[in-house]
Amino acid sequence: MRNITLANTPLNRRGGIGLNKAVTFSLPESLLKLIERVREKRRDPTRSDTVRVLLLQALGSMDYLPGSEKKALGVKTEGSNKKGGGLNG
């Protein structure tokens, strides 16, 4: 396992959620390599940017984010039949 640290950077240049708090957590080396490949393909400047977007997209798809944020992330909001522990479910 290796640690990954997400740095303090604005999440949304329009004000959105605001500044992120730096956190550190451990990931298997194989997952870290996969995240790095995704970062390169997305052309994200930092691994933190990649992890942040992937996490927000996952939270949006599980209905934990408001519709406007899901739309901004490109998460489909129409026709979702998911019910669960999200904000809207």
Q: Which run of H or of E encompasses 43?
A: none
Q: Which residue has the tokens 């052309």?
A: 43
* Tens of pLDDT, residues 70-81: 888 888 866 554
Q: Which residue has the higher pLDDT, 48 or 76?
A: 48
The pTM (predicted TM-score) of the whole model is 0.65
- pLDDT bracket for residue 4 (50, 70, 90): low
Q: Which tokens is 41 given?
A: 């393909």
Residues contacting residue 59 through CB under 8 Å, at least 6 positions apart: 65
* Tens of pLDDT, residues 57-70: 999 989 988 888 88
Is the confidence at residue 2, as pLDDT, over 50? yes
Alpha-carbon distance of 36 to 23, in angstroms, equals 18
